[in-house]
Amino acid sequence: MYRTHTCGELRLSDSGKTVTLAGWVQRTRDLGGMTFVDLRDRFGITQLTFNADSDATLRETARSLGREFVVQVTGKVVERQSKNANMPTGEVEIIATELKVLNSAKTPPFTIEEETDGGEELRAKYRYLDLRRANVRRNFELRHRMAIEARNYLSAQHFLEVETPVLIKSTPEGARDFVVPSRMNQGEFYALPQSPQTFKQLLMVAGFDRYFQLVKCFRDEDLRADRQPEFTQIDCEMAFVEQDDILNTFEGLAKHLFKAILGLEFNEPFLRMPFDEAMKSYGCDKPDLRFGMQFHELNDLAQGRGFKVFDDADLVVGINAEGCANWSRKQTDALIDFVKRPQIGATGIVFVKWTEEGLKSTVDKFYSPEQLASWAARFNMKQGDLICIMAGKADKARKQLNELRLHLGDLLGLRDAKVFKPLWVLDFPLLEQDEETGRWHAMHHPFTAPKPEDAQKLMRGEDLGSVRANAYDLVINGTEIGGGSIRIHDRAMQEAMFRVLGFTDEEARYKFGFLLDAFEFGAPPHGGAAFGFDRWVALFGHRTDIREFIAFPKNNAGRDVMIDAPSRIDGIQLKELGIAVKS
């Protein structure tokens, strides 16, 4: 038996017990007459004491211990003279009588502490050491609890967890697939699933009624803090449902997780907002509702006055930064520099401030005090406020103003990570058109059904830009946690969708013939959703980088620097696969 107790469980009530612990040496302190060792395992830290009464060999062994040595110790639990209120075990220590070094260790390249001296790349290279840090470990305790609670909730709602294939057919329509060569079928390739979409629909055709899976998905796309080439979804599908059935079910899942994990209760229904309203009021389809600063449009009040920037714009739109009228020129110039960054691409900002001296604007020479007052009224402006106005092409101006709004939210401390504002965004466009090619693309995916009242437009291929999707996203604090849709379950409509997307009948048959065939054998109405589990855990952990909640993540270049992957394979493997690599 390596241990009778963990390093996190002993308390004052255990005094007098003889116990055996095992773990890693966190630190040692040699005070001459006494040596103290902090022993750590997953469950906590316990102080070991080697005093003047200890065997000389035992004390010498204790003095020789280095950081991260793996040891086993036996001793008696006693009350500490100098208690540590910051440790759960801080009222006791172990007077050691036996000590065995199970494995020595090289000095780690960074300190195994909550506040470490290791940089990001170094910690990624030695991720197995980084995972020993208590704050990193707590991320995975959170992830574990959320997985258990999600499964408990869905099981209670009569969902069945079903595993779907990992080696599937490549059907790249959104992100790029990761492809896997087949040795037994040379020249042919599997793909890793971007999602189990078609399989979960087939499970509905099979009569499973309610399916879920905590599933790995793979997308060969550019990475950000909230994206990884492999990620985990809570993937779900339901038969014989309409949109409200799905929203109510998964709103229930969200509320269950909030209560079970964070102790937060949401007694009111989540807000529901149409896509068009989200874009008009916040400039994005995942608005952060922890603070206001809704958009207000000024075309009717600002154009035709000789200010060319406004007169030539498709849209003049702004936000009210309440209480910021006293910002200095340096501060407002910093805002202009922010929106001029290449990733935002704006040309500038027009400011209007209301000070004790009245309304002042950077475009005063074009507008009278009365005209500025009409702007102030539209923004519900009061003394002390600052209006920030941008102009240009409508979609671009809204996106740029959204970036400014979020930046101001950060500067003003309005985006508290411990405050949560969930909402459903509904009624997305079903299709979006490429400006260069004129080709239509699915806003979500090609299996999303149109709103029933727009279905005939899709079937006829008419007025496609106005067709709304029977789709929905769950957004929390400006993060898209997940979403889904009512699916097409009729072969004729699915074929119409493929035609609109530019598929020939032969291409549709080659890629999705199995699904089209299934629809002819009694496919029920069905729909579902998928939630980014990594994102959801990061949100509950009050972080933005999902890599902190993935045990062995990839870096921003899609590489695992710990195992040095991806990597080349040798010539023998390539020959077996029938593949040649061009250098």
Pair 143, 78 in one domain: no
* Residue 565 resides in a domain: no
Q: What's the rounded Cα separation, in Å, for the pair 234 and 419?
A: 23
Closest by Cα among 33, 77, 31 to 51: 33
Pair 268, 141 in one domain: yes
Residue 265 sits in a domain of what CATH number?
A: 3.30.930.10
* Residue 201 resides in a domain: yes
Pair 196, 221 in one domain: yes
Q: How would you write 543-575 as a 3-class SS string?
A: CCCHHHHCCCCCCCCCCECCCCECCCCCHHHHH
Is the pTM here over 0.85, yes or no?
yes
Closest by Cα among 122, 112, 83 to 23: 112
Pair 49, 148 in one domain: no
Q: How would you write 498-546 as a 3-class SS string?
A: HHHCCCCHHHHHHHHHHHHHHHHHCCCCEEEEEEEHHHHHHHHCCCCCH
The CA-CA-CA angle for residues 162, 163, 168, to 5°, reads 135
Closest by Cα among 273, 211, 317 to 472: 273
Pair 266, 303 in one domain: no
Indicate the pairing of strand 179-181 with strand 189-191.
antiparallel
The residue range of the domain holding 207 is 137-273+421-550
Pair 247, 159 in one domain: yes
pLDDT for residue 225: 65
* Residue 122 resides in a domain: no
Residue ranges for the chain with pLDDT beneath 70: 172-174, 225
Cis peptide before 566 (omega within 30 of 0): yes
Closest by Cα among 503, 490, 493, 443 to 469: 443
pLDDT for residue 405: 98
Residue 88 sits in a domain of what CATH number?
A: 2.40.50.140
Q: What's the rounded Cα separation, in Å, for the pair 204 and 531?
A: 19
Pair 402, 440 in one domain: no
* Residue 538 resides in a domain: yes
Pair 143, 265 in one domain: yes
Pair 223, 311 in one domain: no
* Residue 515 resides in a domain: yes
Domain count, the chain: 3
pLDDT for residue 221: 84
Q: Cβ(197)–Cβ(485) under 8 Å?
A: no
* Residue 177 resides in a domain: yes
Residue 300 sits in a domain of what CATH number?
A: 3.30.1360.30
Both tokens of residue 362?
């950077």
Pair 204, 265 in one domain: yes
* Residue 129 resides in a domain: no
Among the candidates 369, 384, 411, a domain finishes at 411
Among the candidates 383, 411, 439, a domain finishes at 411
Pair 436, 364 in one domain: no
pLDDT for residue 297: 98
pLDDT for residue 123: 97
Among the candidates 59, 78, 103, a domain finishes at 103
Q: What's the rounded Cα separation, in Å, for the pair 249 and 254?
A: 9
Pair 438, 396 in one domain: no
Strand, coil or helix: 475: strand
* Residue 583 resides in a domain: no
